[in-house]
Structure 1
C-alpha cells in the first residue's frame, strides 16, 4: 500500500508516550524503520497492521525486551529506550503480550498475584479487588487453574494481571486474537471501560474496523514504517485503507 498523506491529527500537548524515529530488529535484519507515534493521557490509540509489519517488534522494544538500534522512547518525559523490562514496568508502562502468556498450572488468583510482584501487600490486595471488580468472571473462578479457562477468560486474566502492576499506560497486543465475534465485542467493551476510568491504552491489533471504532487516533504500520496516521474516524472513512484492509 502506498503512503497516503493524512491531515495533521490532534496530538496531546504533553504525550505520556512519545516514540521518535525508532529503529530496531534482529541480527542484521531491520524491522522497525523510523517509527514515530504518541499516546496521550486518556487516549486509546490503535496501532494497526497485518502480520509481519513490525507490531510485535514495536511492543517488545517499548517494553524493554528488545534493545532499540536508534531513536527515542520517552515515557512521562523520561527516556526509557534500552531500559530493562523491570524498569519499564516500574515506570508504569505495562505490556499485555499477544497469546496471553498466562501460567496454565497456577490458579487465576495466583496468576493475578504474580502480576503484582513489585507492589506492596496492601496494594496487591487492593489491585486484586480492582481486577475482580473489572472482570467478575475471574472472581468466580479465582481458585480454578488458569489453563482450564475459555479463551475469552484467559484474555481477561492476562489484562487483569497487567492491571495488578498499576500501569499508567497499558499496551494491549492483539487482545481479540482467537476470540469469537461475540467475545470480541465484549473484550472491546471492557477496553473502552478501562479507558473511561482514565487508563490510557495503546491497542495493537489486526482487527481494523472495531479498533478504529474504539480509538481516538490510529497509526497503520506497513513494512516497519507508519504508512498512515490520523484521527480514527477519518482513517476509517479513507478509501485507500478500505481497499487495502477491508477489500472494499
Structure 2
C-alpha cells in the first residue's frame, strides 16, 4: 500500500450561510485503504463529504486528490478525477429502471466502458441483474442501496465515499451491506466509510476518524480507539 495519500484534507472549513460546520478538518485516505469516519448526527460528516466532492464550496483549507488540488473544483471535475460519493439516503431515481439508474452513473466518467462496467456491477450484485427493468422506487431499501453503490461503481471510482450505507436497513440487511463493503475492499478499492454503525465499521476499517462538532477528535487504528474507555464512552456510545 502506498504511503502517499490518495485523498488529503488539510484545515478544511465550511458550512451553510453564516453557520460554520467544519472547523479545520485534517484527514487522509491512502490508496487501497478503508477509512471509517464516525460520529453522531450533526457532527459534520455529511457536510465534509459534500465539500470534498465539490457540492458545497470550502471556506478555507485544501482538498487534494492524488496530488491534484481539488479545492474549489466543480463537482463534475471531482467525479472525472475518480472521487465518487454514494450519498446518504441513496438518492436513486425512483421513476427510472435499474438499468437506467446504472447508466447515469457513467454519464461523466467511463462512459465508453459502460457495458463492461454494468457486467461488473451485476457480478457484484446479482440481484440487480434480476431486476434490470424494474423501477428503482419499487425495490426494497437494501436493493436500493445496492443500486446506489452499483451506480457509483459505474464511474470506475478510485475512491468511493459511502455515506451512511446501512441507514434504515434491517439488521440482516446491515450484515449483508457490510459484507458487500468487505467485497469492495478486497478488490483494492479505496473506501471512506461514513457511518453511525460503529461496531461493523471498525471491524473492516484500516484506520478510523471520529468527528465531533465539526472537528476531528480522534484518528488512528480501530484497536486504539476501542482500547480507550474515554473515547468509547464520549464519542461512540460503547
TM-score range, shorter chain: over 0.9
Work out which of the residue numbers 73, 88, 96 in structure 2 matches 1:83: 73
Aligned length: 238
User: Is 1:213 matched with 2:198?
Assistant: no
1:121-132 maps to which residues of 2 (within 5 A)?
122-132=112-122
SS at match of 1:101: coil
Which runs of at least 4 in structure 1 moved beyond 4 Å after TM superposition?
A: 119-122, 245-248
Q: 2:184 aligns with which of 194, 198, 202?
A: 194
Taking a change above 3 Å as real, the CA distance of residues 140 and 60 of structure 1, as seen in their structure-2 partners, is: same
- Match runs of 1:29-48 below 5 Å: 29-48=19-38
Preserved contact between residue 43 and residue 212 of structure 2 (Cα < 8 Å): yes
The yes-or-no answer on 1:135 pairing with 2:125 is: yes
Unaligned runs of 5+ in 1: 1-10
* Aligned residue number for residue 170 of structure 2: 180
CA contact (8 A) 1:208 1:245 kept: no
For 1:239, the equivalent position in structure 2 comes to 229
- What residue is the counterpart of 1:7 in the other structure? none
CA–CA separation in structure 2 for the residues paired with 1:142 and 1:241: 45
Cα deviation for residue 115 of structure 1 reads 0.5
Q: 1:23, 1:31 within 8 Å by CA — same for their partners in 2?
A: yes
Residues 99-141 of structure 1: per-residue CA shift (max 9 Å, x gap): 0000011100100001111346540001100110110000011
In 2, distance between residues paired with 1:47 and 1:121? 30
User: Normalization by structure 1: what TM-score?
Assistant: 0.93
When the two chains are superposed, the root-mean-square deviation of aligned CA atoms in Å is: 1.4
**What does 1:30-109 correspond to in 2, within 5 Å?**
30-109=20-99
Q: Is the 8 A contact 1:209 1:236 kept in 2?
A: no
| CA contact 2:211–2:217 (8 Å) conserved in 1 | yes
- Partners of 2:62 and 2:110 lie apart in 1 by 31
Q: Secondary structure at the match of 2:232?
A: helix
Structure 1 segment 144-155 matched on structure 2, within 5 A: 144-155=134-145
Aligned equivalent of 2:155, options 165, 187, 200: 165
SS in 2 for 1:110: helix
Does the aligned pair in 2 maintain the 1:55–1:204 contact within 8 Å? yes
Cα shift readout 1:36-78 (whole Å, capped 9, x = no counterpart): 0100011100000000010111010011010001111000000
Are 1:156 and 2:173 matched, yes or no? no
- Structure 2: stretches of 5+ with no match in the other structure: none
Structure 1 residue 231 displacement after superposition: 0.4
Please give the per-residue CA displacement for 1:138-192, whole angstroms capped at 9, x wherever unaligned. Answer: 0011110100111000000000000001111000000000001111111011011
Q: Which of these residues, 99, 102, 105, is aligned with residue 112 of structure 1?
A: 102
Alpha-carbon shift at residue 244 of structure 1 (Å) = 2.4
